[in-house]
A and B are shown apart, each in its own frame.
Chain A
């Protein structure tokens, strides 16, 4: 802290002059949207289900979830300061209005423009080859690219609403099995009102030839987004899945409460990467997304592998713990995370590695970066069941402080139920160093660029886990997010 105080006025003014790049994705699309009235009750749940022509069993699940949710209270254990949310003041369904008839299958040009602006062109010929996209705006999936091509291999990639209609057996078999509605407050809420999301099924022995990705966009005001993603990787299959998200700049807080469930069978591997860039609120902490997400994967098969990589730079509040239940023998779980908070952002994020299978192993690398007045917490659990012998976990948990008004916290829990398992935990906290910045300055690198370099260097181990195209974007995001945030 001393160092910070010693900073001269000259340096402070250089730093405060550093341009603060505005949130690039804060625009609003002017499109007619069907929004159901605010409020939540059983009729709303029924209404959403009816809008989607859902089968009875799914409505049933929603209603049970809703009834259960009513018995729960908003959790308060996170190291975050969140006002109580008025769940009656949110609209639970918003859909961009379909265009007039005659344009069957065509995407509204406004929507197309929106996704173009976000760098996600929806025409397949314009896409970089090697990535299929499911584009979700507010509560509905707008389009999914490359579906036919993937179908040739038996890979199913579509919106979850379509999957309910087209693959009812698969959905019934897997939905809610990894994250039951009884799991937590937001999981119950999501199960009651979820609107859309993506479904992926990779059949036995298939290595998915392209990256699959879902791009989530919140557009409508005063709505919440409750999407659901379900990924099933059958025996000996492989898929790499990417998730991106942005939202307009608004003074109000908007709620995003998603569920991601992943099932990994024998010898299959799933790589799930997130670059989370929801609107973080302004520099005084007004507005921004509350990102309250339950993500969990079940490594059910022997030798199965699930790898979570996340770069979290957005949202006013982030509350998420992508986890692995390592049920299969020799299964592998990984969690690589960079969480950057600045201004008044708050993040409470981490993972759970639950070792149930013998010789299962897990790796956790968490890098927190806190600037401004932000609070950044790592919360993790490593649990080895008594019968899960020969397990191994390595946890590395680093925090980098960029200001003396920000906070970094770690809340690790370790429970090992047998003697043959080895669990390691390493943690460091450091401050960005004035001498490093001056060294860069002396070589002609400006303070902003120097901070970008230093932070990217710090986060490198995690960034290296991202797919190429994503990594470049994420690197830029880290640098941009940091501009003007030192001191």
Chain B
């Protein structure tokens, strides 16, 4: 589904990703862990096409297509979704209008008719339930005045609406209390299938108790320096990153 080969990227002339390799197949959950400043968020931004980053080398194919050649919105249409670490507020734009624009743009991309108002509202109701999102939140402006937990739930709600092939959850656990974490994680698990895949970017093992990864990767200094099964996350929780740093820096 996603094949990243030797991906290099920089921001403001500073190289952050220094040759990332990663392959994600349908049905898999990958966790990307790593110390601060290792390039985790850069990876999600580069994959989704944030204009502040410049790709300086390597290639990424997504569903057989050259991902890096697509505009950010076309990447979204092709099924790439990012749950933002810091979802932005868009005052005055209701969630309903926002989601309708998003859904209908996607349908247009696939030459489908826009969804009727009643079908759309039905879909909203159905998907709201996935993350127990209050109707009141859904009728408010995008993220405006939402608490940290509400914002993250709103991200997963949007993920449910857009049914992506590959979802990247960027520090989705940050700022969540244990109840909100459980709701968000169970939402993600409900949306999991044999056809889609998830990349969980996280600092801590905590989220991985709820969203079970098939693979755990450690990103350090812009490279994936270690990959293993779920047991690696536990080991990191216990031992921290220093032993990996030492190993890599000692090379």
Contacts and interface: CB of A to CB of B under 8 A. Distances in A.
Interface of A: 6-8, 10-11, 14, 433-436, 438-447, 449, 453-454, 456-461
A454 B90 contact: yes
A375 to B, nearest CB: 24
A445 B51 contact: no
B158 interface: yes
Contacts of B141: 457
B156 to A, nearest CB: 13
Interface residues of B, number: 33
Contact of A457 (B50, B51, B84, B93): B93
A8 B54 contact: yes
Contacts of B51: 7-8, 10-11, 14, 434, 438
A444 B162 contact: yes
Given A453-B98, A457-B141, A441 B49 contact: yes
B193 interface: no
A305 to B, nearest CB: 26
A435 B88 contact: yes
16 contacts: A6-B12, A11-B51, A14-B71, A440-B90, A440-B101, A441-B73, A442-B48, A442-B49, A443-B98, A443-B162, A446-B105, A453-B90, A456-B92, A456-B93, A457-B92, A459-B92
Contacts of A434: 51-52
Nearest to A449: B101
Instruction: Name the residue in A7, A457, A459, A461 with the highest tally of chain B Cβ atoms < 10 Å from its Cβ.
Output: A457
B216 interface: no
Contacts of B72: 438, 441-442
Contacts of B84: 439, 442
B77 interface: yes
B105 A444 contact: yes
B50 A438 contact: yes
Interface string B64-86: 00000001110111000110100
A441 B92 contact: no
B98 to A, nearest CB: 7
Interface string B115-158: 00000000000000000000000000100000000000000001
Interface in B152-172: 158, 162
Given A8-B51, A10-B51, A434-B51, A446 B90 contact: no
A96 B104 CA distance: 45
B50 A444 contact: no
Contacts of A11: 51
Contact of A439 (B12, B90, B106): B90
B24 interface: no
Interface in B43-57: 48-54
B194 to A, nearest CB: 24
A456 B142 CA distance: 13
Contacts of A438: 50-51, 72
A449 B92 CA distance: 15
Given A8-B54, A14-B71, A457 B102 contact: no
A445 B93 contact: no
B77 A444 contact: yes
Contacts of A7: 51
Contacts of A461: 92
Given A439-B84, A457-B91, A459-B92, A446 B52 contact: no
